[in-house]
A and B are shown apart, each in its own frame.
Chain A
Amino acid sequence: MYRETKIISDSTQSPSTGGAEEGGDLIINVGPQHPATHGVLHLVLTLNGETIKKVEPHLGYIHRSMEKMCESLSYRQFIYVTSRMDYLSSHINNHACALVVEKAMQIEVPQRAQYIRVIMDELTRIASHELWWGAMAMDLGAFTPFFHAFRERETITDIMEKTCGARLTMNYMVPGGVMVDLHPDFQKDVKSFIELYKRKFHEYGELVTGNIIFQNRMKNVGVLSKEDAISFGCSGPVARASGVHCDIRKLYPYDIYDKVEFKEIIETAGDSFARYMVRLQEMQESIHIVEQLIDNIPEGDFQAKTKAVLKLPKGEFYQRVETARGELGVYIVSEGGTTPYRIKFRSPGFSNLSALDHMVRGLKIGDLVAAMGTLDLVIPDIDR
């Protein structure tokens, strides 16, 4: 619920009777419509002067109850809903759902489809990190990087549009493979993107990373220790910046991730700057993965032959994948029918958000924006 902006005389949060008193705590709302929250996230801050005493997230402004919705959707239909969760990694969400159905029904996916899926996943990861990088700099008051980031991201969305027919919610991966074969221009386009990206990547460092104002606002801000990162269930770049080995692509490889060579980026500082550096280097690794695969896509089918109506056997199935934000889990309880009995999406953003209060307590209000930017929250993914 929306809380009135008010001054309270002590931290027990009883409304003050005498108006603004010296040294009282101030309760203010950030969001649900606020540019720094990148969506409809609502935070209730308890402040003492400019120092943050408590951050309370209020969720649900974009809650569509996907878990309930999926209970009445078939195993071919529910994938379309998941594109709307973490819309910046929609390929990877679809991938997770396709994998869990394939695992349950023991469908063998053709090699060609596996290659296509991994290339698409990595392009999505780059596109997502590009947007994060531009928005992150904008949170700190720099407007130019946003346009630089979108210049490269636009190329990826164009590639996606040619093959998948959509720029954001692709719905491209289906149980058994991918929906349609690649566009004839795909390899050429991806190669020219890689060339463009390599030519421009140094600008990122010159514009933002090396900037002294930027560094001062990022270093030693929002520190999350390794133990806390694990306890808060953090995953993805947030946990890796605190020194946790948690890359699902390395630990529990799916499709052809065990055949490609890439580094798991680990930083140990755990501050905002470390989280920034992890994502920046991850983009490079993703480029490296795409480079290895783009010339070696095998010929053959892009989809396995499956029945028109999919029926999962009775049981429970869990599949985890690494999205741009961290570990996404899909947990399906099946009663043997054509729809799931219960489905749960383990959202990476939800767990990462739970660490926010711990990270920013005692910092100034301006640091909240910097720390929150490095969590890379996507609100529809948190609310589902």
Chain B
Amino acid sequence: MNNEDLKIKFLEMVPETSSEEGGEWLNLFVPVEKFKSFMQSLRTGTGLDFDYLFCLTCVDWKTHFTMVYHLSSTLHRHTIVVKSKLDRNQPEIETVSDIWKTAELLEREVYDLFGVKFLQHPDLRRLIMPDDWEGWPLRKDYVDEVNMIKL
């Protein structure tokens, strides 16, 4: 399916989504309450089959976080970008590690560096930083006078 077809289909599925034009792929904003069921339908929906989660990350916009999921289908070869806005004071979103297995480690990385809590994640611990590290390094307001080199 091309971007237009995908967009029409998604608006039928979840009317609350809003899309963003301009990029190479279709960008969809999904409200966090509808997020899990929407992701589930991306994986199993007929004609969708998004089985390959190739990038999972987070962007700190200072007022809120945006989770960014890049998904594509190895069957139909279409790609979309799903985004979800999170409250910066209490960043929580449901895990997708039961849908795509690779998400388990990727979500641990995001938790480690941004402090986003993934609900129902099987093993949410720090991955890269030491266990006793304080703070979330990739947040924009993170300060570390000793280790951080600013140019």
Q: Which residues of A contact B (CB under 8 A)?
A: 1, 57-60, 63, 65, 67-69, 72-73, 228, 230-233, 235, 244-246, 251, 315-318, 320, 327, 329, 331, 333, 341-342, 344, 346, 350-351, 353-355, 358, 383
B10 within 8 A of A: no
- For residue B148, CB closer than 8 A to chain A, the reply is yes
Number of residue pairs A-B, CB distance < 8 angstroms = 90
Task: Indicate if the CB atoms of A231 and B150 lie closer than 8 Å.
Answer: no
Cβ–Cβ contact A331 & B55, under 8 A = yes
Q: A69 to B137, alpha carbons, bound, how many Å? A: 11
Which of A233, A316, A342, A358 makes the CB contact (< 8 A) with B54?
A233
Of the candidates A59, A320, A327, the one whose C-beta lies within 8 Å of that of B128 is A59
Q: How far is the CB of B47 from chain A (nearest CB, A)?
A: 18
Tell me which residues across on chain A come within 8 A of B95, comparing CB atoms. Answer: none
Chain B interface, number of residues (Cβ within 8 angstroms): 36
Let me know if A350 and B74 touch, CB within 8 A.
no
B99 (CB) vs chain A CBs: closest residue: A231
Q: Given contacts A1-B130, A231-B101, A316-B23, are A344 and B57 in contact (CB under 8 A)?
A: yes
From A244, which residue of chain B is reached at the shortest CB distance?
Answer: B74
- A-B contacts besides A1-B130, A235-B54, A351-B105, 12 pairs, CB < 8 Å: A67-B138, A68-B148, A73-B151, A233-B54, A233-B101, A316-B23, A316-B27, A318-B23, A341-B59, A342-B60, A346-B55, A354-B102
Can you spell out 7 A-B residue pairs with CB atoms less than 8 angstroms apart? Answer: A60-B130, A72-B150, A231-B102, A233-B106, A327-B54, A342-B60, A354-B104
When the two chains form their complex, are residues B128 and A63 in contact, meaning their CB atoms are under 8 A apart?
Answer: yes
B129 at the interface (CB under 8 A from A): yes
Which residues in B have their C-beta under 8 angstroms from that of A333? 59
Q: Please, which residues of chain B bring their CB within 8 A of the CB of A331?
A: 55, 57, 68, 70
Q: Is B146 an interface residue (CB 8 A)?
A: no
**Alpha-carbon distance between A58 and B138 when the two chains are bound, in angstroms:** 19
Complexed CA–CA distance, A221 and B137 (Å)? 39
Nearest CB of B to A206, in Å: 37
Within 8 A of A (CB), among B93-136: 100-102, 104-106, 109, 113, 127-131
B92 at the interface (CB under 8 A from A): no
- Give min CB distance, A336 to chain B, whole Å: 14
